[in-house]
Amino acid sequence: MQHDTQPWLQLAAVNSHVHSVHLPDGTHVGNLKRIGSVWKFKAVGYDDSGAVLPGGGPLTHLHNTQLDTADVAELNARLRDAASGL
C-alpha cells in the first residue's frame, strides 16, 4: 500500500494517559490509552442512536493493539496497513 505524507489517523490529547483517535474526516474511531507502561489502542464505534460501542467500530479488529508511545507516526505505522480499505 502506498502512503501519502499526511497521517491517516490523528491524535488529540484528552489527558496524559488518553488520546482520542480520529480519521481525517474527524470520525472518532478509538482511544490510545496508557495502561501501566504500555499504550493500547482501544477501538470504539457508535450505534444508530449515538451510544458508544467499546471495542466496536471500523477498527474493531485492531482493538488492544499495543504501541510503545503515544506517537501519531507509530500509530499510523502500526495500524494503517492492518486497516486497509477504510
Summarize pLDDT for 35-59 with one digit per residue, the tens. 999 999 999 999 999 999 999 999 9
Residue 78 lies in a domain: yes
| Per-residue pLDDT at 8 | 86
**Mean predicted lDDT score pLDDT of the chain:** 89
Mean pLDDT across 12-32: 96
Q: What gap in Å lies between CA 64 and CA 77, rounded to an integer?
A: 15
Residue 57 lies in a domain: yes
Helix segments in 1-86, DSSP class H:
72-79
Residue 45 CB neighbour total at 10 angstroms: 18
Residue 1 lies in a domain: no
Q: Which domain holds residue 59?
A: 10-83
Per-residue pLDDT band for 83 (boundaries 50, 70, 90) equals low
Amino acid identity, residue 43? A
Count of domains observed in the chain: 1
- On whether the pTM is more than 0.95, the answer is no
As a dihedral over the C-alpha atoms of residue 17, residue 23, residue 24, residue 26, rounded to 10 degrees, the angle is: -80
Mean pLDDT across 72-83: 83
